[in-house]
Every structure is written in structure tokens, then in C-alpha cells.
Amino acid sequence: MIAAGLLMALAATVLGFAGLGMTGHMAAHMGAVAVAAPVLSFPRGSGVPDCRLRGDDGRAGGPLAWATIEFVVVWAWHAPALRGLADMHPAVAVIEQAMFLAVGIGLWRAAFAHPAGGVAALLLTSMHMTLLGALLGLAPRPLYAMMAMHPAPGLSPLADQQLGGVVMLVVGGAAYCLGGLALLGTMLRERAAA
């Protein structure tokens, strides 16, 4: 499972450099935080996380702290100044993607280790991913100069940004929402069985 997660993270990073504009850029980010991170964080040795195995896993921070860190990292990298820096310097773009993967892993691990807080953290993250995706998708003009100069093939800069926003809204929003609901369902089943 670790090899699959690492392969997904690498594929997501490569996708960000594939010349697919804002759409490819958002697909790369979602591949890191919403696909590779939960795969790399999923508890080993069982088909589903055992919500009865709570407690301190030796890592700092609970799920809501990680959700806050993830929020700050994601929104900061989408501020025009940092976005422009990452667009102009491939090394900065790799750091950006690594930070997304790291905070994604931190959030998903904390959610699996502390499921009650994890449900809240994943659902809150779903909301802010949906909001950022909607803001990008509904903006009346391209927000990022470098992205506007290199849109996905066949799309105008605005259409590329809008599609990128939809990718974030659908993939990011859905992955975190479904993760939170699955964790909640597991907790409720375990409570009913006890």
C-alpha cells in the first residue's frame, strides 16, 4: 500500500509539470492531498480503520490542528504571489507539492488515530476545498498570470481556471467529505456492535 501511495504522489507531481495548465495543476494537487495522502495514511494490517484503537500515536497534534495547518498551507499557496513564485520556479513548485502531501498525510493520519475529531476535521476540510474550488471556478477573470499564459490545450485561460476550480471542488470536496462520512460510519457500526 505504501508503494502504491508513493507512486500516486509521484504521478501527481509529474502531472503538475505536464503542461496541462490550471486543470493539470489542480489535478496534481488533488492527487497528492485527496488520493496519495489517505492511501499513505491508511492504518496497516486491516481493511478498515479500527476506531476503538484511539489514543496518542506519538505524533504531535490532533485532527483539528492538522485541518487548520492544511487550510493555511493550501490557501497560502493559492495566493497570487506564492502561486506566481511556484509557477516560475520548478523547485518551488516541487516544495509546494511536497507541502501539500505532508499536510495531507498529517491530517489523514490524525483523523484515523482520533476518529471523532477526524470526522469533524475531514468535513471542515471538505468545506474549505469546496469553497476554494468554487472561488476559482466562478472568478470572472484569470487570477494567476503565469497560468493564464499557459492554459490547458484547447481551453481559454478563464475556462482552464474554471475547470481547475471544478477539479478542486469535486475531487477535494468529495474525498474529504466521503472520508469523514466513512470514518463516522465505522464509528457508529463499532458503537452499535459494542
Identify which of 32-36, 59-63, 143-147 has the greatest average pLDDT: 32-36
Per-residue HEC secondary structure of 7-63 comes to HHHHHHHHHHCCCCHHHHHHHHHHHHHHHHHHHHHCCCCCCCCCCCCCCCCCCCCCH
> Could you say which DSSP state residue 154 is in?
T
Residues above pLDDT 90, as percent of the chain: 44
The predicted-structure confidence for 146-157, as pLDDT tens digits, reads as follows 777 778 888 999
One-letter identity of residue 37: A
Whole-number pLDDT of residue 1: 57
- What's the pTM? 0.83
pLDDT at 105: 92
pLDDT digits (tens, 9 = 90+) for 59-111: 546 999 999 999 999 999 999 889 888 888 888 888 998 899 999 999 999 99
d(CA 95, CA 86): 8
Q: Which whole number is the average pLDDT over 44-57?
A: 50
Cα–chain center distance at 117: 18
Residue 46: which pLDDT band, with cuts at 50, 70 and 90?
low
Q: How far apart are alpha carbons 116 and 122 in whole angstroms? A: 10
- If you write DSSP's letter for every residue of 55-93 in order, what string do you get? S--SSS--HHHHHHHHHHHHHHHTSHHHHHHHHH-HHHH
pLDDT of residue 107: 95
Query: pLDDT-based confidence at 144, cuts 50/70/90?
Result: confident
What rounded mean pLDDT belongs to the chain?
A: 83
Distance between CA atoms of residues 21 and 109, nearest Å:
31
Which one has a higher pLDDT value, 117 or 190?
A: 117
- Using pLDDT thresholds of 50, 70 and 90, give the confidence band for residue 122: very high
Q: What is the mean pLDDT of residues 182-193?
A: 88
pLDDT of residue 194: 73
Whether 181 has a pLDDT exceeding 90, the answer reads yes
Give the number of C-alpha atoms closer than 13 A to the C-alpha of residue 123, restricted to the C-beta side.
Answer: 11
Can you give the pLDDT at residue 12?
A: 56
Is residue 183 within 8 A of residue 115, CB to CB? The reply is: yes
